[in-house]
Amino acid sequence: MIQRFHSNGVGHLNFTERSLSDNEIQEYGKLISILSNRMVSNKDVAEEAAQEVWIELLRSLPKFRGDSKLSTWIYSIAKKVIGRYANNEKHYSLGFLHDFINGDDRGAPGHLNDIEEKIWIKEECDRCLTGLFHCLTNDARMIYLFRDVIELPYFEIARIMGMDEQYIRKTVSRSRAKLRNFLNDECAVYNPSSKCKCRMNKLLEGINLPDEYQRIRDLGKRISIFRQADVILPTKNYWEKYSLIDKK
């Protein structure tokens, strides 16, 4: 069990009640990192938000009495903390996003070798997906992520968000349709036969990135493109450094 951590000069924190196991830190740390990365477009700020969730969990953990599921409690804190950071994010119209992604063709930096260039292209496409995700409101993005990426049941999302379950279901349905319709027309990664003319299109063809996404889709027909993206370019677990189990 994890009974200590070190961050920004903070010493050891001993828990008298429940503590988080290393497996829980790995599991929830990965999902909180994904949530933060999709809610907050700046990677450095997203990492800061995920780490603040960890700090808030440590402060609140001794008070956790098991009145709700551990996941509900953790994601409720994440919703509050990451939601605060996301308030500074911009909300884009589909028209703006269409004009932006169909700008002048981009080229990879010239100093990269073949492997580095492939990683760079994947990172740029991942940033594009996060940007497209901002066609949804903050609440709609959070709800969609809880359902289609973290895969929580509707009733648990309703409890986390403090909203009616029927509203949660309608929001997920509308968000899926909005994203699907836009990506189907505008994104070669999502739909290789689309009319995509985005600035990354030529680079995508060079590394067959659409084929990689297609192989993942073949494994699960209904898998969210944002989950597919995390297979192609895994999100860093911002909690990993807090796993301080003594291996001796």
- Residue 62 reports pLDDT greater than 90: no
Angle, helices 114-132/165-186, rounded to nearest 10 degrees: 130
pLDDT, tens digit (0-9, with 9 covering 90-100), for 20-50 = 778 888 889 999 999 999 999 888 999 999 9
Rounded to whole angstroms, how far apart are CA atoms 63 and 58?
10
What is the pLDDT, as a whole number, of residue 126? Answer: 77
Rounded to whole angstroms, how far apart are CA atoms 200 and 218?
24
What is the pLDDT, as a whole number, of residue 139? Answer: 96
Rounded to whole angstroms, how far apart are CA atoms 49 and 40?
9
Rounded to whole angstroms, how far apart are CA atoms 128 and 203?
14
* Residue recorded with tokens 């070669």: 188
Q: How far is CA 135 from CA 66, 170, 176, in A?
A: 36, 17, 12
pLDDT, tens digit (0-9, with 9 covering 90-100), for 102-156 = 655 556 666 777 777 777 777 777 777 787 888 899 999 999 999 999 999 999 9
What is the pLDDT, as a whole number, of residue 181? Answer: 85
Angle, helices 43-60/70-86, rounded to nearest 10 degrees: 140
Local structure of 200: helix, strand or coil: coil
pLDDT, tens digit (0-9, with 9 covering 90-100), for 78-116 = 999 999 999 988 776 666 566 656 655 556 666 777 777
Q: Which two tokens stand for residue 240?
A: 């990993």
Residue ranges per domain, the chain?
22-242
Rounded to whole angstroms, how far apart are CA atoms 80 and 98?
31
**What count of other Cβ atoms lies within 10 Å of the Cβ of residue 228?**
20
